[in-house]
Structure 1
Amino acid sequence: MDDRNSDGSAGIPAAPAHGNGGPPDLNQLRTFLAVYRAGAFTAGARILGLSQPTVTAQIRALEGRLGRELFERRPRGVAPTPFADDLAARIMGPLDALGAAAGTAAGPDEDGPAEPVHLAGPAEYLAHGVLPTLAPLVERGVRLRVAFGLTDGLLDELRGGRHDLVVATARPRGRSLAWLPLSDEEFVLVGAPVWAERIGGRIAAEGPAALHGVPLVAYAEDLPILRRYWRHVFGRRLTAVPAVTAPDLRAVRAAVAGGAGVSVLPRYLCAAELASGALVPLHLPEDPPINTGFLVHRPGPPAHPHVTLVRDHLVRHGRETGERPAGQ
């Protein structure tokens, strides 16, 4: 019977109780690390430019040398065993450093254009708080390739080598990625002046009952940010159907400013509207919801110096300004 995973990789039998001796082959370790980061044999093979059977054979050989099973088959891809987590933690730095030393990417002071830095994160935050601040680096020769998306998918792509840096709305799990905190951001319940006049100060006295029947404008149908606000501030579960959904917080902001209803937005995204009066804070709790954002990268030295330049610039800017992505 053809024993294959759903990702097309051949099944890996249990490793023998004891290794067959000899140090692990460097190519086998590279292959292991690619599969570990990608979470699948086929994805690891694409990263390495190898065939899937070759990758499977190298993992089997490495398991035989180590006498330990490295991956467990899952419906989609594979999951590392605890031994694999420990192995990855030990070899990531040295292998990444070796790869960087052997690479040919141009540095900041070399002739010709440098390799671009691939940066990804929430569209709203990158457009508002990142791209404008990186202008001085672009003048210094930094080239950028920007992608938008949600945290889970972008982190998978980071493991697979598609991005250099990812702005994440949650701290990554496991040891396959490294992260640095950016800053914290407060969420604010906002509405246009017309809704502030209707609701007045009732929320402080009545709680969420004051918002009964008020249209809600949300990022998604399941009201992710609104639900968190309700739970944190009111201690209640929000069960409602949004009047308007738009998968971009800038569109949510525009709809709310136009009077379509109320919503919860990160303060950085609506600071100008709050200052001008186009939006009004409807409630000012003593303990507003706060979310911490993270800048995530693969462990070890970056592929080229401009990645370090962008990473350090974003972390420094985030700490100085407090701007960061919304926790969607």
Structure 2
Amino acid sequence: MDLALLRTFVTVHRAGSFTRAAALLGLSQPAVTSQIRTLERQLGRPLFLRQARGVTPTTIGDELAHKAAPHLDALVEIAETGANADFSLRTLHLAGPPEFTAERVLPALTDLTGEDGQEFALRASFGNAEEVLEGLAAGHHDLAVSTARPRGALLSATALCDEEHVLVAAPSRAERIDTGKLDRNGASALEHVPVVEVHESLPFVSRYWASVFDSRPPTPGTVVVPDLRAVLACTAAGAGLAVLPRYLCADALERGEVVALYEPAVPPLRTYFLVVRTGTLALPHIARAHEWLQRAAGEWC
């Protein structure tokens, strides 16, 4: 079986589209279509179901991808590092959410990339769960940190840690909130308090309201900025209330820059996952980073 055809097949399987696969491979869309048809003729079975937008693998296609992808990834790794690994430092391509990756993941990997005993070079990129998982599946990343567990057999996920969410505001803002009413009547005490969030859909506040108050937040975002660290800064400046991961606002809470408005008996949690393409943990640098982050996460929770 032609390895070039297999490489094209795996790229289409990961991209979910002949057009996206063609862009990743540097080929024309007709060339990709022709290669897939050739492989299907060789196997005597269809590998994809063509749809209006993209393609969906058949059962045979999923089975072939599961078997072939790890070996193709290993061959690419050999080609990139060369025959003598001693003279070629491997690069780990990491992706994850900006705040958690910057505050937790990258510092934890520093010991593996420092001058003493350097094990690999590191390249990091940021994105939401959908973006990083799509990039991982397409082969742009080696290791991803995600708040969503991927489906299917192509990607493998391991729970890394849980983050606790805290409802906070600046002390000057908290003084104007009837905490007694908050205890008695829940979210109604916060109806007119401005909200600081990362998106217009209020993902953090909505999740907190649903979990703790069994309701929806009545107030739209007053300040919307796509970075939790900026949300913390705006909240500490008095812009409104926010829901933040405890790890991110712990120092600000200790310094009194923000205060917790409510401490529910069971705080809302969100789980982070370490995700790789199935089979790639056989590659030493990916396995080492994966193991190191799991060990470090034991101190984060």
Q: Given the two structures, how large is their TM-score scaled by the length of structure 1?
A: 0.83
Q: Who is 2:126 aligned against? A: 148
1:64 is aligned to: 41
1:106 and 1:233, CA in 2 relative to 1: closer, same or farther beyond 3 A? Answer: farther
Match of 2:143 among 165, 180, 184: 165
> Aligned partners of 2:259 and 2:82: how far apart in 1?
49
Q: Report how many aligned residue pairs link the two structures.
A: 297
Q: Is the 8 A contact 2:93 2:142 kept in 1?
A: yes
Q: Would you say the 8 A contact 1:107–1:306 is kept in 2?
A: no
Alpha-carbon contact 1:158-1:298 (below 8 Å) kept: yes
What runs of 5+ residues in structure 1 fail to find an aligned partner? Answer: 1-23, 323-328
Once the two structures are superposed, residues 211-258 of structure 1 have per-residue CA deviations (whole angstroms, 9 ceiling, x without a partner) of: 010111111111111111111111112243111111000000011111
Q: Paired residue for 2:221?
A: 242
Match of 1:138 among 113, 122, 129: 113
SS of aligned partner of 1:182 = strand
Identity of aligned residues (%): 48
- 1:252 corresponds in structure 2 to 231
SS, match of residue 85 in structure 1: helix
| 1:73 maps to which of 50, 55, 58 | 50
User: Aligned partners of 1:235 and 1:275: how far apart in 2?
Assistant: 29
2:154 counterpart of 1:176: yes
**Which residue of the other structure, out of 82, 86, 89, is the alignment partner of 1:110?**
86
Structure 1's 74 and 122: CA in aligned 2 closer, same or farther, altered over 3 A? same
Is the 2:95–2:141 Cα contact (8 Å) retained in structure 1? yes
Supply the AA of the counterpart residue of 1:93. Answer: P
Residue segments in structure 2 that go unaligned for 5+ positions in a row:
none
Post-superposition CA distance 1:115-149 (Å, at most 9, x none): 32111111111111122222211213232111111
Alpha-carbon deviations, 1:171-211, whole Å to 9, x = none? Answer: 11222212221101111111111222222333111100000
The aligned counterpart of 1:32 is 9
Q: Answer with 312-321 or 186-195: which moved more.
A: 312-321
Equivalent position SS for 1:306 = helix
Please identify which structure carries the higher helix content: 2
- What's the TM-score once normalised by structure 2's chain length? 0.90
Cα pair 2:162 2:269 within 8 Å, conserved: yes
Q: Whose strand fraction is larger, Structure 1's or Structure 2's?
A: 2
Q: State the distance in 1 between where 2:113 and 2:76 align.
A: 25
Matching residue within 268, 276, 284 for 2:255: 276
Which deviates further from its counterpart, 130-139 or 120-129? 130-139
Preserved CA contact (<8 Å) 2:74 2:283: no
Shift of 1:109: 6.6
Q: Give the whole-Å Cα distance in 1 for the aligned partners of 2:213 and 2:207.
A: 10
Matched position secondary structure for 2:229: helix
Q: Report the AA paired with residue 79 of structure 2.
A: G
CA RMSD of aligned residues (A): 2.3
1:310, CA displacement in angstroms? 1.8
Deviation at 1:303, TM superposition (A): 8.7
Residue 198 in 1 paired to residue 173 in 2?
Answer: no
- Which range is displaced more, 128-137 or 89-98? 89-98
How far residue 95 of structure 1 moved from its aligned partner, in angstroms, is 3.8
CA contact (8 A) 1:115 1:304 kept: no
2: CA distance, partners of 1:205 / 1:184: 29
Verify the 8 A CA contact 2:154 2:277 in the aligned structure 1. yes
- Structure 2 distance, partners of 1:63, 1:108, is 36
Q: Check the 8 A contact 2:280/2:286 in 1, yes or no.
A: no
2:197 equivalent in structure 1: 218
**1:40 Cα deviation (Å)?**
1.8
- Is the Cα contact below 8 Å between 1:164 and 1:298 reproduced in 2? yes
Q: Is the 8 A contact 1:106 1:304 kept in 2?
A: no
Distance 2:95 2:83 in 1: 21
Q: Which amino acid aligns with 1:89?
A: H
Distance 2:266 2:222 in 1: 27
The equivalent position to 2:95 in structure 1, one of 120, 137, 157, is: 120
Write the distance in 2 (CA, Å) between the matches of 1:60 and 1:107: 34
Q: Quick one: which amino acid aligns to residue 38 of structure 1?
A: A
In the alignment, is the contact (CA less than 8 A) between 2:192 and 2:219 conserved in 1?
no
